[in-house]
Amino acid sequence: MALRNLQEFVAELERLGELKRITARVSPYLEISEITDRTTKAGGPALLFENVEGSDVPLLINAYGSERRMTLALGVESFAEIADEISEMIHLSPPQGLIEKMRIAGMLAKIAKFPPKRVRSGACQEVVLTGDDIDLYKFPIITCWPDDGGPYVTLGQVFTKSLKNGARNVGMYRVQVFGKNEAAMHWHMHHDGARHYREFCAEGKRMPVAVAVGGDPIMPYAATAPLPPMIDELLFAGFLKKDSVPLVKSKTLTKENGYNVDIEVPAEADLVIEGYLEPNELVTEGPFGDHTGFYSLADKYPAFHITAITHRKNPIYATTIVGKPPQEDYFLGKATERIFLPLAKTQIPELVDMNLPIFGVFHNFVFVSIDKQYPWQAKKVMNSFWGTGQLMFSKIIVVVDKHVNVQDTDEVWFYVGANVDPKRDIVFMEGPVDILDHASPMHGIGSKMGIDATKKWREEGFDRDWPTEIVMSDEIKKRVDERWKEYGL
């Protein structure tokens, strides 16, 4: 079931017993973060804080903090539903007859409904604040951790467009609030939003940016999905929800107001922050308690000048915290791992399964199982990962044989201990690493490690006999299964 907005999402979460309303008065400075951190680590529900100091707007957090809530936001029963549909689409074979042609034509017709659509008005603009009425502090923007540089918008969908071709990007980048109408935009150099900013800087042009909060629960996930630059995140969101995402023209970020591109925003958003970045105007942003479990250091990022705030008459402010896992963002990442597995298999055909384990905070560890067909194939797979999109940031890759369940981390480590000779089976590679990797010798540049935990072949230089694994016979397993109740165990 596709949900249109945050109000419908909250109602469904509450109906399913997945949401707790907090009526006690709480502070947006650290207190909400501590409550949420304890709740998330205990596997608790989404939290709706209805009485936040300094604001009349309720705050929703931990809405994506379980697989059940994540699939609810995506409108499916399991991530496999989406993965299977993607797999079917990318494995379409040439039609052999009329029925097959009709089937493919129907699928293409379905895809054609996905592009975003412009509408004349939207709930996100029921209230419009400009000039002296602009005040970011009217909203319960939280300070997450004690050494954070200030309050942060942490679950915003950041809308930008390319100066060169007008292509839209929707990313999720944190925004530090400095005042009623002043903030900073934090994005990493490899992000599409940063690429757009470099285009505007090169031409000396002011760059329009809109940050949407809340709205369609699919949108935060779409903004984090690792899509190639030519694929619009709103097209992907439409594919997920099987309906077009409605957009309205922003109030101030238009060509009529002197910008080179028009910025459209989601009609169903709860809150939209409109503003601009001046070319090469940087301010100190940070520190910020990040998903790595450590503070990312203060650095220079673009100043974000607010030109308007628009919102629903009764908005809900959606936010999140990141820090030592488990946190809410783990489930956003797990959705990407499962949904994009079929696409990864098109680039790495021997790939059976992969796991970004919770302790690896997305980029520190990747566990991979493969259908090994030739010598040193595990090393080939490592290099494929290091050359594919954001997988290039994988610090440590462990490759195991196809029968190993990579979702069971203890099982993976068992085969690392059993099958690995450190001198022979560990390889190192140098290249780009995640900007947040504080252990790398240079900012964004460092080393990566691959561990080949597959069974070794004579063709790989292993001259000894490899022992047979201990496995009970299927006959005995079946007999014990059938008689289990007899044993009284």
The catalytic residue positions are 290
DSSP 34: H
Distance CA 409, CA 287 (A): 32
Host H or E run for residue 384:
helix 377-386
Distance CA 329, CA 320 (A): 8
Tokens of residue 129, six digits? 């604040």
Distance CA 150, CA 384 (A): 40
Question: Which residues 6+ apart lie within 8 Å of 295 measured at CB?
Answer: 145, 147, 148, 286, 287, 288, 289
Residue 488: left (phi > 0), alpha (psi -120 to 50), or beta? left
Beta bridge partners of 246: 117
Angle at 215 between CA 67 and CA 230, to 5 degrees: 80
Closest CA to 150 of 171, 174, 116, 168: 174
Query: Count of CB atoms within 10 A of residue 285's CB?
Result: 25
What one-character-per-residue DSSP string does 278-324 give?
-TT-EEEE--EE-TTSSEEPPEEEEEEEEEEEEE-SS--EE-----S
